[in-house]
C-alpha cells in the first residue's frame, strides 16, 4: 500500500493507504474526499495541486489519470479552493 495525503480546500488533512495501480482520483473518491472533480482524468481537471518536489517522479502535467505507484509513497495532493 502507498500512503497518500489529501488536503481539502478547507485545509483538512486525510491520509489514505492506497493500492498500487489505482488512480489518485479513484482513491480520493473511494475515500470520500471532497474537492476533487476529475472530469477529464488528469490532475488539472481534478483541480488538484501536487508539490514541485514530486515533478521528477511524475510527468507534469499528467494527461491521463495518475496511477499510484510505490515511488509515490508519501504523495500530498491539495484540492484547489472553489472546487466542490
Residue 71 lies in a domain: yes
Q: Is residue 6 part of a domain?
A: yes
Domain count for the chain: 1
CATH of the domain at 17: 3.10.20.30
pLDDT at 76 (0 to 100): 92
Domain membership of residue 43 as a residue range: 2-79
Which pLDDT belongs to residue 83?
47
Yes or no: say if 77 and 6 are a contact pair by the CB < 8 Å rule.
yes
Query: Can you give the pTM of this predicted structure?
Result: 0.76
Local confidence pLDDT in tens for the 84 residues of the chain:
999 998 888 888 989 999 999 888 888 888 776 556 554 444 545 667 888 888 887 765 556 677 888 989 999 988 876 544
Q: Do 8 and 57 form a contact (C-beta atoms < 8 A)?
A: no
- 49, 52, 77 from 7: Cα distances, Å: 10, 16, 6
Q: How far is 62 from 52, CA to CA, in rounded Å?
A: 13
E strand segments, the chain: 2-7, 13-18, 48-50, 75-79
Structural domain includes residue 84 = no
Amino acid at each position: 500500500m502507498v500512503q497518500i495525503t489529501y488536503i481539502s480546500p478547507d485545509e483538512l488533512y486525510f491520509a489514505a493507504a492506497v493500492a498500487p495501480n489505482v488512480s489518485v482520483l479513484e482513491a480520493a473518491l473511494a475515500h470520500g474526499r471532497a474537492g476533487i472533480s476529475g472530469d477529464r482524468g488528469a490532475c488539472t481537471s481534478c483541480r488538484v495541486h501536487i508539490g514541485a518536489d514530486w515533478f521528477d517522479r511524475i510527468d507534469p502535467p499528467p494527461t491521463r489519470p495518475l496511477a499510484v505507484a510505490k515511488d509515490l509513497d508519501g504523495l500530498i495532493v491539495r484540492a484547489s479552493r472553489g472546487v466542490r
